[in-house]
Amino acid sequence: MDIFTESDFEILESLLCKAPPDFLKTVLAKDSLFHMHIPKTGGTYIKVLFQSLGIKFYNPAHMRCNANIPLYPDPTDSIPCDGVYKEQEGFEESLRFCVVRNPFDWLTSYYFHTHGEEKAPWLGVKGVGGIRYFYSTFEKFVEAYCDGEQYWNIGLNEFRRFYPFQIFDEHGTCQSHLILKNGNNEELQSACTLLAMSFGIPYSSLEKKLNTKTNTSSAKKEDYRKYYTSKMIDRLEVKWENILSAFGYDFNGSTDEKFMISGKNVRYSNRKNLVGKKFV
């Protein structure tokens, strides 16, 4: 590994203006990373990238911070997992971060996740893959996602109610110091570049690894926008009004240039199902 050059500092400078003002203060005080993996947000890409960089990196299974919320089985792959993040190794001392992807993009990836059990019986739906096969088209899946009366595995129901719930504790406090945005691949790559460089990784050691495609769905062949009808968009915009506003997204991607949000600026009321600064 090399030491930083002027070029590295130029890249760093250009990215810092799109991060929270206290980014460096927050990051330089820590010497390890803890990834809070929200399913289908780009987490496997994050895992592969950061594990390859020689940074001390913790990446436990999909968990949650609020022990009162049911989460079973594993949200994607039907592998039962339990526990809360704060009990995991590395939680206290590390810089904790997560990815909150544009909900419209996220929902298509959630639907097209293919590791679930096909033709799962009514009570045996395990993981989102199972739910996908229960609703045979994306449109029906979206209908069920918007309609609380339609069947959804109870252990995964919170993903239907408020999908980034895993990072908030029972008091509504965000336990993720940084929230990386993923409105598109470029945005996530920029956020990862800044995070990795702030851990001392020069861009030359990072560049080739940034474009690695991991865990891409073979079933999802199109840009996410092509799977939506205007009716579906309208319905989801109502359902997600609060999330879209809090995390800076609309149907087409990010609504501003920021690719990272400070967790200090986000709180969530599970009771009211509202996210933002004012709630709880």
Q: Which residues bind another protein (CB under 8 A)?
A: 1-4, 8-9, 12, 16, 24-25, 28-29, 31, 54-55, 197-202
* CB-nearer residue toward another protein: 53 or 84: 53
Cβ-based nearer residue to another protein, 22 or 170: 22
Q: How far is the CB of 258 from another protein (least distance, A)?
A: 18
Q: How far is the CB of 194 from another protein (least distance, A)?
A: 11
CB of 99 to another protein, least distance (A): 23
The Cα 106–Cα 183 span in angstroms is 9
Indicate the residue among 53 and 275 with the shorter CB distance to another protein.
53
The answer to whether 70 and 190 are in contact (CB under 8 A) is no
Beta-bridge mates of residue 254: 249
Q: Which residue do the tokens 């600026």 mark?
A: 265
DSSP string, 103-132: HHHHHHHHHH---S-TT--GGG--HHHHHH
Work out how close the CB of 200 gets to another protein at its nearest, in angstroms, rounded to a whole number. Answer: 3
* Cβ distance to another protein smaller for residue 27 or 128: 27
Distances (CA, A) of 205 to 43, 59, 128, 217, 258: 20, 21, 36, 27, 24
Closest by Cα among 183, 168, 110, 116 to 144:
110
Nearest CB to another protein, comparing residues 23 and 135: 23
Q: State the minimum distance, in angstroms, from the CB of residue 259 to another protein.
A: 18
